[in-house]
Amino acid sequence: MGYFELNKNGDFVLTDNGKSVKEELVMFGNIK
């Protein structure tokens, strides 16, 4: 399973096994 984290731009990205999948998750803006 992947996990969510914030990048430098303050956008949420889904990282899976160290790979950053550039997904703009507007619906999940409150997830840290």
- Beta carbons within 8 Å of 22's beta carbon, 6+ residues apart: 13
Of residues 30 and 7, more confidently modeled: 7
Provide the pLDDT for residue 7.
Answer: 73
pLDDT category at 23 given cuts 50, 70, 90 is low
- Beta carbons within 8 Å of 11's beta carbon, 6+ residues apart: 24
Distance between CA atoms of residues 7 and 25, nearest Å: 12
The per-residue pLDDT for range 4-18, each reduced to its tens digit, is: 677 777 777 766 655
- In angstroms and rounded to an integer, the radius of gyration of the C-alpha atoms of the chain is 9
Residue spans of the domains in the chain: they are 1-27
